[in-house]
């Protein structure tokens, strides 16, 4: 992963520096001695799921029967794990059971979800390092990468997983998450960062940053490519939309299987089809913005930009995708966007819940335009809320205490003019009267029919004469 800079000097990535610090791995656990410790189910998760999995050796359609997925937690709150386990399109369950035709089964190694623990849990990780795993693997990171060289210099670590006999003289040593990533990334079919901490650095790398926290991309360097030639894939969000992650995983599985091209990613490694738009463009409050109608406090139904929403400049799809199972999502439930999917989060968005300075220009223009557009739309909306027959009779037969006044002369004239405009390109306009879709319904003809209608209905007409 080391690269040569334009001035010819050798540039070591943070991953290179960490591996230089620790040196090569020379010892693994003695598998004969692992025993049952950490095996309450007396079985690996892979073996437990295999009998009920849909994809197996006999049903596979492509070259891959399974892909191992190693999940690591760096400087994280585990929120990414929580949101991904709530994903529904597709769900984690469907991926680990191989329920998607053609996609290989995902063998998930997750420190919280797996039934095995301790050295037995770490065993497949060691096999991946030593090239003994029975299939390709991907690595997944939630949380940011700490600069573990700082902690290791004092004999400690910030985030780690598993004790390995990698210490001096084969002593057990807790292996940092960063070290696992540095060792496994070169052989991985793909390296995925989930959540804003792993994708950009996030909260742990905010101003001050005592741990030297950074993203997976920063850690591995810009020249990093997986064994399949893929740079780091980034699915940001704090917490991310679980479906964004599982859908990306499914797309990558089909690519690895050879059933599809590499999905499209943007210049920051985000899935383009998920992060190509600003959240504002699909916001449920967008029309309020356009009409210059703004909330003054939380709980109001209008656009939230004046109380701190950054949606117009933030790449996120949560308003259209929902938070879980298509439901929820910041502005859908009353929250302003604080830019949690963005590389600049949090430093460039603080203080939260204060009006973004740049919104002043656009909201002022929207207010001016909206002050004209809103009454005009209201005017047309009133007209569209009337059946033509009611216009002809000058009355609305609603029993819901409708108290709106009937349109006056000015209103009637303007609506007739509007109607002419609307139908000006209608090629059938010569055959039908422009005012009303049933021009043959004149007051006179309707009143001719009125007695019959009344008799048939057996009711008293309440129409005006």
By CB under 6 A, what part of segment 314-333 binds ligand SF4?
314, 316, 318, 330-331
Among 68, 105, 109, 285, binds ligand SF4 (CB under 6 A): 285
* Site size for ligand SF4 (CB under 6 A): 23
Rounded Cα gap, residues 371 and 354, in angstroms:
24
Min CB(205)–ligand SF4 separation in Å: 17
Q: Please, which residue, 170 or 276, has the CB nearer to ligand SF4? A: 276
Among 139, 304, 370, 415, binds ligand SF4 (CB under 6 A): 304
The residues near 140 (Cβ < 8 Å, ≥ 6 apart) are 69, 70, 71, 72, 192, 193, 194
Rounded Cα gap, residues 187 and 183, in angstroms:
8
**Tokens 């003695």 identify what position?**
30
Rounded Cα gap, residues 199 and 192, in angstroms:
9
Among 175, 289, 346, 415, binds ligand SF4 (CB under 6 A): 289
Residues in the chain: 465
Q: Please, which residue, 91 or 341, has the CB nearer to ligand SF4? A: 341
* Residue 305 sits in the site that holds ligand SF4 (CB under 6 A): yes
Question: Distance of CA 374 to CAs 120, 185, 246, 361, 384, Å?
Answer: 66, 55, 42, 19, 15
**Tokens 């021009």 identify what position?**
439
Q: What are phi and psi of 132, to 5 degrees?
A: -105, 0
By CB under 6 A, what part of segment 127-166 binds ligand SF4?
none
Q: Please, which residue, 177 or 244, has the CB nearer to ligand SF4? A: 244
By CB under 6 A, what part of segment 227-266 binds ligand SF4?
237
Among 189, 233, 279, 366, binds ligand SF4 (CB under 6 A): 279
- What tokens does 428 get? 């059938």
Among 14, 136, 311, 407, binds ligand SF4 (CB under 6 A): 311
* Residue 309 sits in the site that holds ligand SF4 (CB under 6 A): yes
Q: Please, which residue, 69 or 340, has the CB nearer to ligand SF4? A: 340
Among 18, 53, 138, 283, binds ligand SF4 (CB under 6 A): 283
The residue number with the shortest CB distance to ligand SF4 is 311
* Residue 338 sits in the site that holds ligand SF4 (CB under 6 A): yes
Instruction: Mark residues 182-221: x for contact with ligand SF4 by CB under 6 A, - for none.
Output: ----------------------------------------
Q: 10-11 and 3-4: which strand pairing? A: antiparallel
* Residue 337 sits in the site that holds ligand SF4 (CB under 6 A): yes
CB 197 within 8 A of CB 238: yes
CB 381 within 8 A of CB 373: no
* Residue 303 sits in the site that holds ligand SF4 (CB under 6 A): yes
Q: Is the peptide bond between 90 and the residue preceding it cis, with omega within 30 degrees of 0?
A: yes
Min CB(289)–ligand SF4 separation in Å: 4
Sign of CA dihedral 409, 411, 414, 417: negative
Rounded Cα gap, residues 83 and 297, in angstroms:
28
Rounded Cα gap, residues 362 and 385, in angstroms:
31
**Where do contacts with ligand SF4 occur on this chain (CB under 6 A)?**
237, 279-280, 283, 285-286, 289, 303-305, 309, 311-312, 314, 316, 318, 330-331, 337-341
């Amino acid at each position: 992963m080391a690269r040569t800079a334009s001035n010819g000097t050798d540039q070591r990535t943070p991953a290179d520096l960490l591996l230089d610090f620790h040196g090569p791995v020379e010892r693994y656990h003695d598998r004969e001695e692992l025993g049952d410790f950490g095996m309450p189910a007396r079985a690996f998760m892979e073996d437990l799921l295999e009998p009920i999995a849909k994809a197996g050796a006999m049903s596979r359609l492509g070259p891959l029967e399974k892909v191992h997925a190693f999940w690591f937690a760096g400087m994280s709150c585990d929120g990414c794990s929580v949101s991904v386990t709530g994903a529904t399109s597709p769900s984690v369950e469907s991926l680990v059971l191989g329920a998607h035709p053609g996609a290989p089964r995902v063998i998930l190694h997750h420190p919280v979800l797996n039934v095995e623990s301790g050295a037995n849990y770490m065993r497949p990780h060691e096999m991946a390092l030593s090239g003994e795993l029975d299939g390709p693997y991907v690595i997944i990171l939630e949380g940011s990468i700490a600069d573990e060289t700082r902690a290791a210099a004092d004999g400690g670590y910030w985030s780690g997983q598993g004790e390995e006999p990698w210490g001096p003289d084969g002593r057990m040593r807790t292996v940092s998450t960063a070290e696992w990533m540095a060792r496994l990334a070169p052989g991985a079919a793909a390296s995925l960062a989930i959540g804003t901490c792993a994708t950009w650095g996030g909260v742990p790398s905010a101003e001050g940053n005592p741990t030297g926290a950074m993203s997976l991309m920063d850690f591995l360097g810009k020249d990093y490519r997986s064994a399949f030639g893929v740079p780091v894939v980034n699915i940001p969000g704090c917490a991310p939309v679980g479906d964004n992650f599982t859908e990306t995983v499914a797309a990558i599985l089909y690519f690895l299987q050879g059933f599809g091209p590499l999905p499209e990613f943007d210049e920051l490694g985000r899935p383009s089809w998920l992060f190509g738009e600003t959240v504002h463009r699909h916001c449920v409050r967008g029309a309020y913005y356009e009409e210059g109608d703004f909330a003054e406090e939380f709980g109001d139904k209008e656009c939230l930009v004046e109380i701190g929403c950054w949606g117009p400049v933030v790449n996120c799809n949560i308003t259209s995708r929902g938070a879980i199972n298509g439901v929820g999502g910041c502005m859908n439930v009353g929250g302003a966007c604080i830019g949690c999917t963005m590389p600049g989060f949090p430093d460039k968005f603080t203080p939260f819940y204060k009006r973004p300075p740049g919104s002043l220009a656009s909201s002022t223009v929207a207010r001016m335009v909206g002050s004209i557009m809103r009454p005009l739309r209201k005017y047309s909306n009133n007209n569209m809320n009337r059946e033509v027959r009611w216009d002809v009779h000058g009355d609305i037969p609603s029993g819901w205490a409708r108290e709106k006044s009937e349109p006056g002369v000015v209103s009637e004239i303007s609506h007739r003019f509007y109607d002419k405009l609307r139908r000006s390109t209608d090629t059938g306009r010569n055959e039908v009267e422009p005012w009303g879709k049933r021009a043959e319904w004149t007051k006179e003809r309707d009143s001719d029919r009125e007695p019959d209608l009344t008799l048939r209905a057996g009711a008293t007409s309440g129409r005006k004469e």
